[in-house]
Each structure stands twice: as structure tokens, then as C-alpha cells.
Structure 1
Amino acid sequence: MKKNVVFSIVARNYLSLAYALGDSLKKYNEDYEYHIIIADRFDGLDKSQEPFSVLSLEDIGLNGQLLDELAFKYGITEFCTAVKPFCFDYFFKNGFTKAIYFDPDICTFSSLNPIFDELEKKSIVVTPHFFTVEEDYTGTISEQLLLHVGGFNFGFVGVSKVGGGQAFINWWKNRLTNFSYQDKIEALHTDQKFGDLIPSFFFDDLFVSKDLGRNMSFWNLHERSLISKDDSYFVENKITKQQTNRLIFYHFAGYEITRKGDLVHKNHREYKFSDFPEIDQLYKWYGEQLQKWNFKKYISIDYGYGKFDNGIMIKHYHRRLYRRLLMDNVKIENPFGVASNQNNFYKLLRDNNLISKSKENVDKVNEVTLDSFDSKVKIINKFMVVFKSLIGSDKYFLLMKFFQRYSKIENQHFLIKEYRKDYKFFNENRRGDFSVK
């Protein structure tokens, strides 16, 4: 049995990305196993017919009430990242001693042996988003955003059983059972933000890689230049001009399969191929790999945990209201269930007019996607000017301060009449007591 394992975690619609990753691994690596964990329903998959090993969450020991709870209270990205330490734990319990996790939108371009060698001495290997100090920052993505999402990018994490590796996995798994949310107010960003605590808790076990060839992506394009030479890729430090490393893996985060327009990242319009022409061919190559692995076949597969058992879409506010009831120790056996003879979560939502049969995904609406956003905001502004004149500036801004937390869905559970009487205000800074004192 091999001792090294590489794995990725996907919902079914991202299987082609995980297959492209697996294909790239075969070209440059030996003496490892590769597995894909499906953080989704397993319907429609035949393990014997898939080109790479696929494992269900039940296969890794995550099932029953805990699986239902995690799959419901977390959105798709939150859920896929929450199960990450459970996967590491599974592989360690099954004989592997060194494990590397990759996001599915990564491809490798040379051997992973340097990382596995580092895991002989250190139990945790991570990569910063970037590491070159600049007094006047030249990057496009804001440093404030990185302060929110975390200093390390957990699209890659290497862990071994050396030293405190298992202790780290146990700690991380415990935290992500309840705190794998994307939530700026609570200073959470899925599994990744907890990485900021690793230097404090696991200092002696940690290796922070400053290899430019690891985790190159849109967020460090101000720091790194891609160079093609003799059928290989190298990465040069664009700022210092004093370091060059072979490209080990590239992270195609935010890749837009259609390649319409000039965008490097589909959600970050400030990154354009015309500004970074050296990566254009690499991205075209990646698009070809996704086509090779039947991207169109998989991308349209619905997320299995995205609907109640009757097919009605689960909205973001449903997940957060469910979270609040869990915080209040309300017992809900099957949050996906809709049977009328059950005292279930769906019935609570339906009876309180919190179920919408609209197929529009309001969770994706923002200032970019909403039609006439600016004109709508101007109308609201006019109303707020009148409102401020009625209550005065002090009370107006006090109310705005209050709304920062009151607008959190977890503080809107009074909309469920059964829990209105004992309402307590949730402030994440007052652990163990929701009330304000």
C-alpha cells in the first residue's frame, strides 16, 4: 500500500475539474494514490465506471444526523470545505502517513516530491496568497479582502502524521463542525480563516512555503510572472527579480469555461488577460482539459443538497435559520424532510410563509447582477433622508449600527412564530449568551 495520498473534494457538477487534476498528477508523479470525495448525493455515479477513484461521504465515515446537519446548514462551498479535515482523518486511519489536498480547479505541472519531502519533517505545509513585502502595495485584489479570507490559501494543504498532524486535524475538524461559514461579521471564511491560528497553535509543526511555483493564481499575479521555457513553466518574482521557481501547481480559481470577454476571474472584473498576457495560453490549455473531461456533461448536474425532498430550492436564509435553531438546541432529525406527519423544519418554514416556490436563486443577486441597481439605491436613499430628518442623526446612526447585526439571518428567527416569545439577540462577540448586557 502506498503511504502518500492526494485528494480533492467536489460536488458532482465539478467532477470534470477533479478529473483534469487527476490527469495532471499522473504525468509528473508516482508512488501516490488519488481519490475524489463527493460532497454531494452519490446518485448517478458508478464507481466502476469513473476514470479515477471516487468516494462518498459515507465511505469516509461521515453519515447519519451529522451529515444531514452539515449538508443543510452549510452552502455548497462551505460544506465542501467543512468536510476537508474529515477526509484527512479518514486517510490517516486507513494507513496513509502523508496527505495533500487540492481544490479541483488546480492542475500540477511538475513533481510533488518536494512537498512530500517537507512532510517528512513538518506535519503541516501551507502557502500564503503572496509573501513579497511592498510598502506601497501593487496588487489588484485588496489587502482588506485577504484580511477577511485569511493569509493562507487552503486550495492546497499538506498534512502528515509527523508530530502534531493528527492533533491539528482533530482541532480543525472540531472547529469546522460549527464554523465553516462565509460570514464577514463573524470573521469566518469557510475552513481557510482558521489557518490564521495555525502559527500560534502549531508553530513547531508548520512549514510556510515561499516557493513561487506553488499556488500561483489571480491573487498573486502582481507578484509572479509565468515563464515558458523548454516545454516547462517557471515562475519569477515580478517585484524583486531575485527568485525563480519551477511551476508545481497552478490554481485556476474563478475560471470561466466560456472564456467570454477578457476576464481572468469570472467574479473579479479587475483581472484581465490583456494585463497578464503570459497566462493566456495556460488558461486556454486548461479549457481544453475541461472539455476533454466532459465539462458540459457534469456542470449541469444539480447539487443534491440544494433542495428539500419535494424538490423546492433551499435558500441561504433557510440554512441560516436552521443554524439559529440548532444554536437554540432545537432538535430537528431530518432538515431535508417534508413528510406531513413529521414535526420538521420544512413545516415550520411553510407555516410561517418562509417557503418560496420561485426558481430564482436570490442568493446570487448582488450589486453587479441586479438590474438598475444604482437607480434602486437612489430611491432607498431618498427614503432614508426623510427618515433621518424625522428621528435625528444620533438615533439614525445608532439604528444603522444596530442593523449591522440585526440584519443577520440568525437574528431574524422571530419570523418563525414558535420561537418568537423567547427571542434573544445574537452577538458573535458574546459567546454563550445571545442577550446584550
Structure 2
Amino acid sequence: MTLAFTICSINYLAQARTLGDSLRQTNPSYQYIIGLVDKLSDANLPAELIPAYPMIEVDKIGIPDFAAMCDRYDITELNTAVKPFFIDYFYQSYPEATEVIYFDPDIIVFQPLEELNEALTTYSLVLTPHTCSPTPDWERPNEQHHLNTGIFNLGFIGLRNDATARKFVNWWKDRLVYECRIDLCEGLFVDQHWVNFAPVYFDNVLIDHHLGYNVAYWNLHERYFSKNEAGQWQVTSLDEHAGQSADVNEGEPLQFFHYSGYHPERPNEISKYQTRFSFGDSTPQKKQRPDVKPLFDLYRERLIANHNDQYRTYPCIYIKPPVVLRYLRVRKLLKTPFNRVIALLESR
């Protein structure tokens, strides 16, 4: 059995439902679970906002001293820090799950993931790099940004339930208890930088270059989108110099698209994190990508249908206000032994 899961707080349940709907349509044999970094009892959601998918609240999976993690992290850091803890929980609680696949909630799966399923019969881990070819300019994101955020995008990871993957998960857990911060000066960007070590420390890791996997704003410079005669989305390699694609009939099926940084209230913006492309309407200084706009129109429609506006009003029960979080982080530094502070300062 393959167990697929995501992690979010209540404010992102529209995305989690949209992901689940796509998995139910394309990979109905998967067991899909939402890992909820929130408390349903406090939210008291109306019936129409209860997803039709199993949800496991984070306080039920036995993370040691979880309250202290809540004190350390903001909402992005916390939702990423608990990822390996959920994977370990699934290993322990669902021994029939021979594979565990994590997807960020802001993903749509478009195809049966047959090649991924086949890879996980052989490999312990499957990772996808942010890009498979050099970025063409210094617009955001470029290779320097990827050095800051990690070679691999951890909006997706596939794992077998084997000894190597379990060893990796335990190692990852140890790092994310304290060091899942967004702190570029300290070489940290949530859970991602740590996984740069995975192909070095662990055997049997597949770095998958499939053009249809984990497609997002960070790799649009190398991928072009079209529909084949059957109406299915295809991805082909984009020739940046010519500004056009190869023969679209020779493309690979789009497997899953990652809508990172997209907001349905800004429907003409590909992502708040990028400056390279636009859909081709009102920003002529950017490269025009009308080929990708229908994919975003589809996502917007599905988010709205899944009550995105209502979910966004729910604050996460575990997250401290920014002023309080900054205070707690300062207090943590003040409690650090004096010799450790001196070593930190000397290392800068």
C-alpha cells in the first residue's frame, strides 16, 4: 500500500483538499492523509469545511517536547519541521505502507504516478532538484537563490519503508528539532538544506530529473506546456534562446505541478517568489508564458470551490505572534552558555 500525505494548518485546507481530490482521481489506490498542524476542537469548523479525507493532528503523533518547537518556529518552519516526524509515525502506525510519499498541499497531481511507484520498488528515497539545467539570467530565482534554499525541493519526497529510509528519517528528525529555521546567514532554509546531504550520507537515493515532476516557478525556464490530442498536459524541454518549445508531441506527461507562492486573489501573478515570467498580459518587462496560464486558472477554480476564502481566516493555534516569537528567540540566545555565544560571534 502506498500512503501519500501532506502537512498544513487549517488556513491551507483548501490546498490540501485540492491535492487530495487530484490524487483520488489519478491514483485512487493511494491512502491519502492530511497531517494537521492545528486543533480541530479549537477551530470548530462548520460541516462544509470538514475535508472528506482522514486528518491526523500533530499533537497525536508523539513528538517529544512539541510545545518547545512551537515556541521556536513560525508557521512555515513548524509545518516543515514536523515532516519527518509524520513519516516516522506512518512507518510505525501503518506497517502495511510499503511506500510513503509527501506532497506539499499546494500541488495538483495530473497522472497516475506509475514511474514513481516503480522507482520506489528499487530506491529508498526519491528526490527532485529545483532545476535540471542552468538558470538563464539573474532574475529570481537563479542559481544563487537555490544555493540559499537547497538543491532539492522538499515539497515532494518519496520513501520506501526500508532500513535506509528509516535511518534517513531519524537523522532528519534530529536536525529539524532545533534547526528548521529560515536563517540564511546560518545556512538554514527550513528542512531543505539538510537534504543536500542525503545522496552523500545514504545509499540508494534517486535524484529524478523527470520534466513532469515537481514543476513550479523555479523550473519554468526549462519547461514548456501543451495539451496532446487526448487533452492531457504535456511537458517539453524549453529552448530559452529560441523562445519556443520542441515538438510538443514528443513531450512527457505532466505528473504534478507545484503552485508555490500562488494566491487566487492575485490571479495574474505566477508566484510571489519569482520575477522572470508573466502570463503575457500586463508585465511586458517579463518573459511571456501564456502556455502556463491555463494550469493556474484551473488551480484557482479548484481552490475557490474548496472554500479557500473561508479557510484563510483561521489562525494556527500553535503559532505565536511575530513579536512574541522574536522575543522567545532572543531569550533562547541569552540563555545560551557564554562560551557558546563567543564561539558563534567568532565564527561570523
Please indicate, yes or no, whether the TM-score normalized by the shorter chain is above 0.5: yes
1:314 shift after superposition: 4.5
Q: Which amino acid aligns with 2:319?
A: G
1:244 shift after superposition: 2.6
Matched, 1:258 2:265: yes
Structure 2 Cα separation of the partners of residues 80 and 298 of structure 1: 17
1:317 shift after superposition: 1.5
Aligned residues of 1:163 and 1:205 also touching (Cα < 8 A): no
- Where 1:264 maps in the other structure, the secondary structure is coil
1:435 shift after superposition: 6.5
Matched ranges for 1:208-287 at <5 A: 208-229=207-228, 230-239=230-239, 241=246, 244-259=251-266, 262-274=268-280, 275-287=288-300
Aligned residues of 2:139 and 2:274 also touching (Cα < 8 A): no
Structure 2 Cα separation of the partners of residues 216 and 325 of structure 1: 42
Q: Which amino acid aligns with 1:210?
A: H
Residue 173 of structure 2 is matched in structure 1 by 173
Residue 92 of structure 2 is matched in structure 1 by 93
Aligned residues of 1:227 and 1:235 also touching (Cα < 8 A): yes
Aligned residues of 2:125 and 2:206 also touching (Cα < 8 A): yes
Counting aligned pairs with the same residue, the percent is 30
1:137 shift after superposition: 5.3
Residue 20 of structure 1 is matched in structure 2 by 18
Matched ranges for 1:29-40 at <5 A: 29-40=27-38
**CA 1:159–1:325 in structure 2 vs 1: closer, same or farther (change >3 Å)?**
farther
Matched, 1:114 2:123: no
Aligned residues of 2:4 and 2:33 also touching (Cα < 8 A): yes
Report how many residues are paired.
328
Aligned residues of 1:139 and 1:220 also touching (Cα < 8 A): no
Q: Which amino acid aligns with 1:15?
A: L
**Whose RCO is larger (CA < 8 A, sep 6+)?**
2
Structure 2 Cα separation of the partners of residues 45 and 113 of structure 1: 39
> TM-score, structure 1 length as denominator?
0.70
1:101 shift after superposition: 0.3
1:267 shift after superposition: 3.8
Deviations 1:75-98 (A, max 9, x none): 111111100000110111121221
Aligned residues of 1:181 and 1:190 also touching (Cα < 8 A): yes
Structure 2 residue corresponding to 1:293, chosen from 303, 306, 327:
306
Residue 130 of structure 1 is matched in structure 2 by 131
RMSD: 2.5
1:121 shift after superposition: 0.7
1:427 shift after superposition: 4.9
1:11 shift after superposition: 1.1
Question: Which has the greater radius of gyration?
Answer: 1
Matched ranges for 1:4-15 at <5 A: 4-15=2-13
- Where 2:159 maps in the other structure, the secondary structure is strand
1:327 shift after superposition: 4.3
Matched ranges for 1:19-418 at <5 A: 19-42=17-40, 43-45=42-44, 49-62=50-63, 66-94=65-93, 95=95, 96-133=97-134, 140-202=140-202, 204-229=203-228, 230-239=230-239, 241=246, 244-259=251-266, 262-274=268-280, 275-307=288-320, 314-324=323-333, 327-328=336-337
Give unpaired runs (5+ residues) of structure 1.
329-421, 429-433
Aligned residues of 1:127 and 1:209 also touching (Cα < 8 A): yes
The runs of 4+ residues in structure 1 deviating greater than 6 Å are 434-437
Structure 1 Cα separation of the partners of residues 308 and 174 of structure 2: 34
1:44 shift after superposition: 2.1
